A and B are shown apart, each in its own frame.
Chain A
Amino acid sequence: MSIVRWARGKSPWYFHYETGSCNGCAIEVFALQTPLYDLERFGIMNTGNPKHADLLLVTGCVGYRSGRVLRNLYHQMPGPKAVVAIGVCALTGGIFHDCYNLAPGADKVIPVDVYVPGCAPWPEAMIDGILLAAEKLRGAPVARDRRRLVEEEEPPAGGAGEEGKA
């Protein structure tokens, strides 16, 4: 089923959720659509809807309410799916690390596959992270009972994933 793997790697649509921050990372994510960076040349599209998405891009520090939303959105995405956390706030909480109202990192709420550090990360770094996540989609099992396989493999929330390099 190499054609399925090929297609998954070539057509990752992403959904971007900004959990609440300075919007610096969010602005840079939007920049990915511009002619300079043009994500669409990789077949990557922005969708406004988790139900159509393969990748979830998380920026900002995850508060307890936005964490609930994040969990819901992740739940509504059909598998195979991957999560890219962008910016130090989404990775660890950043300078807000010890705030009483925040989870220290998106991976405390949903499983994160690729971490892109930076404040804010360069768009090139984000592209690199997204393509890493696409590689991960390509590796997802194709078999019919894939869902069960994934459940066994899936790391528990907060587990380690691949590290994106900046």
Chain B
Amino acid sequence: MVYRPLLIAFGVLVLAPLLGGLLTGFDRWLSARLQARVGPPLWQPFADLVKLWHKDRLTVNVVQILYANAYLLFVAAALAELALGHDLLMLLFTLAFGTISLVLGGFSVRSPYSRFGAQREIMQLLAYEPILVLMVVAIYLRTGSFLVSRVVVFPRPLLPSLPLIFLGYLLVVVIKLRKSPFDLATSLHHPHQELVKGILTDYSGPYLGIIELAHWYELVLLLGLAGLFWATSVWAAAGVALLVYLAAITVDNVSARVTWAWMLRFAWQAGLGLAAINVVWLYLWGAGMP
């Protein structure tokens, strides 16, 4: 029984890239269809990853590699924490460590493009981190626990009592997945891109592949967190997660990029505002919620 958590963690960490890759492929296919294009096949992200992995290892400095690895492993660790049912707050901190690694990777080279990307990534962190913490607090107020293992056995779905938090979380997902209108630090799989490639400008070959893999983990993690909002059944959770993903893809395809200041203002006014109202509800009428 001691090995059970290890087995779970191992299984999730092996399966998550498969799922994440397929979802990314789906995203690119769907986006293409929305733009009246044929689009790439579903397995396209896997071809990209294998190709990147077998390119020359060019680097600007040695610490870059450190940060790419740290980003991957910390995001994966956060996912493992989710799978093992640990503390949500600790999960957020671990995820933040991953993001900070990425930021430091952007800072570590003397290219203005990565530097600006890194600065904007920090602003993104500033924009969504309070919303995420408030979400965790709201989940605690509702279920009485920060532990994922307790939250998933809570007898009633969370979405009816946390509707505004859910909207705030949607905003976080759009920012975190680097979808338009918030693809300002870097953008993924868009022919149009900001600041050359922003924070990823000076990664290449296998190191870019590592970051790509980390994005897949991050995608699965974010959708997993979305699933917590209706964790009473696996199918409902998967449905909510899929809805969140579809919403993010739709927003991506119908909006244009905004500036970081606009993002910060919007995230704090709209996202935080909604989350705060929901938290106040919970303080006032926490017990009597549906």
Contact = CB atoms under 8 A, between A and B. Distances in A.
Q: Answer yes or no: A and B touching, Cβ < 8 Å.
A: yes
Interface of A: 3-4, 6-8, 10-11, 13, 33, 35, 38, 40-43, 45-49, 51-52, 54, 76, 78-80, 142, 147
A78 B37 CA distance: 30
A142 B54 contact: yes
B40 A40 contact: yes
Interface of B: 28, 32, 35-41, 44, 46-51, 54-58, 189, 191, 193, 196-197, 200-205, 208
B202 A51 contact: yes
Q: Nearest 6 A-B pairs (CB), nearest first? A: A7-B50, A51-B204, A78-B56, A41-B38, A10-B47, A7-B51
Contact of A43 (B37, B40, B197, B202): B40
B209 to A, nearest CB: 11
Given A46-B191, A48-B197, A40 B58 contact: no
Contacts of A147: 56
Interface of A is mostly: mixed
B48 A11 contact: yes
Given A11-B47, A41-B32, 4 more contacts: A7-B50, A8-B54, A52-B197, A78-B58
B203 A51 contact: yes
B273 to A, nearest CB: 36
A11 B58 contact: no
Q: Which of A35, A46, A51, A79 has the most CB of B within 10 A?
A: A51
A7 B41 CA distance: 13
Contacts of B197: 47-49, 52
Given A48-B197, A49-B197, A147-B56, A41 B39 contact: yes
23 contacts: A3-B50, A4-B51, A6-B47, A7-B48, A10-B47, A11-B44, A11-B48, A11-B50, A35-B35, A35-B36, A38-B37, A38-B39, A40-B37, A40-B40, A45-B189, A47-B193, A48-B196, A49-B201, A51-B201, A76-B204, A78-B58, A78-B204, A80-B55
Q: Which of B55, B189, B197 has the most CB of A within 10 A?
A: B55
A11 B50 CA distance: 9
Contact of A35 (B28, B37, B40): B37
Nearest to B194: A48
B44 A48 contact: no
A78 to B, nearest CB: 4
